Amino acid sequence: MIRFLQTPSPTKKIVLGGLLTVICVMMVVTLIPGGSIFGDSAVTSDSDVAKVDGDPVTVTEVSRAAQNMAQQQHYPAQLVPYLMPQAAEMLIKQKAVIAEANRMGLTVSDEELRLILHKGQFGEQLFPKGQYVGDDVYQNFVQSNFNLTVPQFEDELKKQIELQKLQNVVEASATVSDSEVESMVRQQQTKVKFDYASISMQDIQKGINPSDAELRAWYEAHKDQFKDSIPEKRKVRFVLINGSKLPGVEPNDADVQSYYNQHKAEYQVEETIKERHILIKTPPPGADGKVDDKAVAAAKAKTEDILKQAKSGADFAGLAKKYSDDPGSKDQGGYFEFTKGKTVPEFEQAAFAAKPGEIVGPVRSERYGFFIIKVEAHEAAHTKPIDEVKAQIVANLSRQKASDAAQKAAENLRASARVQGLDKAAAAAGDSVTTTDFVKQSDVLPGVGNAPQFMNAAFKTNAKSGADTAPVAQGYVVYEVTDVQPPSTPTFEEAKAQVDQQFKAGKAQTLLVQKAQELADRARTEHDLKKAAKEAGFAVKTSELVTESSQVPDVGSMSGSAAAIFAAKAGDIVGPVQGGRNAVIMSSLDKQEPSAEEIKSGTESARQQVLGRKRDEVLELYITNLIARMEKDGKIKRNKKAIERLSQSQQPLSGE
């Protein structure tokens, strides 16, 4: 597959639509740095949480997915067990959808995968400026970012693309009516003005001063949540072997020439246009499919006027910054470079036909509008000469030679250390031993920096089991674990600051709800928010005319629970509405419905939003029915006892 990445077919084009930027929900969960769904090969059937069309969902997979979910949501590690059932169901759904995609023949070819890697979310890392980075860099990228091998990574990515393909097929059935669109526009464009009183949890919390006795009682009542919250610590001794400082790692000219000869495909440059352009957009077709001819004519006239300025000697980059509607190139003075097949046909044909220095236009694109193009350079297809890429080759070879040399030196040192001890082995090799105090797995070690692979290995190794090796950014370490402090539960004194914080937060939340409800009730009784707030000692503010997309000080987003004010009549009391650390009571003052012109201008955007919601609903219903059908057919079998054990676990599983 790596070789396949190096040798793309220049003539084969595949239209993948949304797949070029596929970022699935499952991608976030299973491919975040440090995470993997690939479990220990020794996991037995007793560890299976479920089977989906014969494919097991293991405890290892569920544990890692739950930990990754917690990391994505910034939840504390103590909540990982509570995410286990959710992670299990998520993986069951994923495997069910993949099985269905395979049944429907929605498989992914190598050419499709290459295009995704070239043009999708990994394109910048793997194909900077269109050139493949090479096998070594690709493997390092996959290992360091996803802790996977290249075949595992590509297999997982193919699964995500299959999921997206099935999603596209299912969502194609979603339709939207004009009445739904108009309803959405009215909802988005309606404006309201209101008085509001905000009660701050922070202000309430300032008045809470618990005694030690109250805090100690709270600690005892909530002691379970502190269980083993002090993480495991270990003492480690290690020798750092920096590969770049070892002899013989600098490549010679023969090495560089040999590498260049073997990797010439990586240095092929396609025929390339370097140009600047100005785009004047034309409006998209309306809901009836018709184009506003007057607007198109106006855009063309504007383009022709700018074209005259450009041909009269005006600075083209300055014109682009002033007039262009292309956000991707406008700030760069319209600069863009591309190869064939990478942009819309009309633009491409005009640019490739022009000579360097020539200004052409107006060039009409039905999708975007009118272009003015100034070609700056037209480079023929060629292979970069060795002198141009020598520095890159030297860096690649040096890095690989340094890594290989460090690994070999580490293996030799480990072998010696297992016989005569780390101190004697290090002394004989001219190396020094670094000894840490008790450290957590997340700590950064002196001279090594951030080294997750090393720390993961050190925290899986039994104490006093002898020397072992692990890779680090500089090369390798030879290390041994000398002592272990298991996780522990803090005493009240150790946890007092945290107890005080949580006690006050809980008490303040209770008082916030109570005070906000009392104010809302009084305002409704008196039919006057200002009067009720004054009597209770709270200030009242007045909003501007706002829509549901607005942000209001102390209230926050108007699209959340505060949106209830849009359904209120003048004088109605709404609330209490809680957002973040405030509670708000509102009184409606004014409401303005959108005009016919506002409804017309917002129609297209609203249509896309309603369509997106409908697609989500169709997909959710499809997956629900798919799961039900596969369960009925016996293709999904859950291990209920295993799932119950997951949710009852007090410790996040390591999955190892």
Note the pLDDT tens digit of each residue in 238-272. Answer: 999 998 888 888 889 998 999 999 988 888 888 89
CB atoms within 10 A of CB 620: 11
- CA separation (Å) from 105 to 166, 169, 341, 461, 602? 10, 12, 27, 45, 39
- Tell me the sheet residues that pair with 449: 445
464 versus 503: the higher-pLDDT residue is 503
Among 33-47, 106-120, 159-173, which range has the highest average pLDDT? 159-173
Q: Given pLDDT bands bounded at 50, 70 and 90, which one contains residue 412?
A: very high
Q: Of 557, 474, 494, 605, which Cα lies nearest the Cα of 185?
A: 605
Q: What is the pLDDT of residue 46?
A: 47
133 versus 308: the higher-pLDDT residue is 308
Residue with tokens 């290390």: 479
Q: What is the pLDDT of residue 647?
A: 56
Q: Is 496 helix (H, G, I), strand (E, B) or coil?
A: helix
Lowest mean pLDDT among 167-176, 534-543, 611-620, 640-649: 640-649
Q: Which pair of structure tokens corresponds to residue 547?
A: 């829509």
Lowest mean pLDDT among 44-58, 334-348, 486-500: 44-58
- CA separation (Å) from 349 to 15, 252, 354, 556? 19, 45, 9, 50
Q: What is the pLDDT of residue 78?
A: 65
Lowest mean pLDDT among 79-88, 176-185, 187-196: 79-88
> 432 CB contacts (<8 Å, ≥6 apart)?
239, 426
Q: Which pair of structure tokens corresponds to residue 205?
A: 């919390």
Name the CATH architecture for the domain at 2-174+618-648: Orthogonal Bundle (1.10)
- CA separation (Å) from 326 to 41, 342, 349, 350, 379? 51, 16, 19, 18, 24
Q: What is the pLDDT of residue 31?
A: 35
Q: Of 87, 85, 86, 82, which Cα lies nearest the Cα of 61?
A: 87
- Average pLDDT, integer, range 45-73: 81
Among 104-113, 127-136, 447-456, which range has the highest average pLDDT? 447-456
Q: What is the pLDDT of residue 648?
A: 57
Q: What is the pLDDT of residue 319?
A: 96
- Average pLDDT, integer, range 546-552: 91
pLDDT surpasses 80 at 520: yes
pLDDT surpasses 80 at 452: yes
Q: Of 398, 356, 352, which Cα lies nearest the Cα of 374?
A: 356
pLDDT surpasses 80 at 317: yes
pLDDT surpasses 80 at 403: yes
- Average pLDDT, integer, range 397-424: 92
Lowest mean pLDDT among 252-256, 276-280, 325-329, 578-582: 578-582
Q: Is 337 helix (H, G, I), strand (E, B) or coil?
A: strand
Q: Given pLDDT bands bounded at 50, 70 and 90, which one contains residue 288?
A: low
Domains 191-204+492-592 and 271-380 share a fold: yes
Specify the long-range contacts of residues 591-597, CB closer than 8 Å, at least 24 apart.
591/190, 591/191, 591/192, 591/193, 591/566, 592/190, 592/191, 592/192, 592/545, 593/186, 593/189, 593/190, 594/185, 594/186, 594/189, 594/190
pLDDT surpasses 60 at 9: no
Name the CATH architecture for the domain at 271-380: Roll (3.10)
Q: What is the pLDDT of residue 128?
A: 81
pLDDT surpasses 50 at 171: yes
77 versus 333: the higher-pLDDT residue is 333
Q: Of 267, 269, 148, 198, which Cα lies nearest the Cα of 579?
A: 198
Question: What residue spans define the domains of the chain?
Answer: 2-174+618-648, 191-204+492-592, 233-260+386-485, 271-380
Q: Given pLDDT bands bounded at 50, 70 and 90, which one contains residue 359?
A: very high
Q: Are 582 and 199 in contact (CB under 8 A)?
A: yes
644 versus 109: the higher-pLDDT residue is 109
pLDDT surpasses 70 at 273: yes
SS (H, E, C) 50-62: EEECCEEEEHHHH
Give 245's DSSP letter.
Answer: G
382 versus 25: the higher-pLDDT residue is 382
Q: What is the pLDDT of residue 234?
A: 95
Out of 3.10.50, 3.40.190, 3.30.310, 3.10.450, the CATH code matching 191-204+492-592 is 3.10.50
577 burial type by CB count under 10 A (0-12 exposed, 13-18 middle, 19+ buried)? buried
- Average pLDDT, integer, range 276-291: 82
Q: Are 378 and 356 in contact (CB under 8 A)?
A: yes
pLDDT surpasses 70 at 41: no
Question: What proportions of the chain, in percent to the nearest 5, are helix, strand and coil?
Answer: 55, 20, 30
Average pLDDT along the chain: 84
Give dist(CA 390, CA 396) in Å, integer.
Answer: 10
Lowest mean pLDDT among 74-78, 498-502, 552-556: 74-78
Residue with tokens 């409401």: 591
Q: Given pLDDT bands bounded at 50, 70 and 90, which one contains residue 71?
A: confident
Q: What is the pLDDT of residue 8?
A: 37
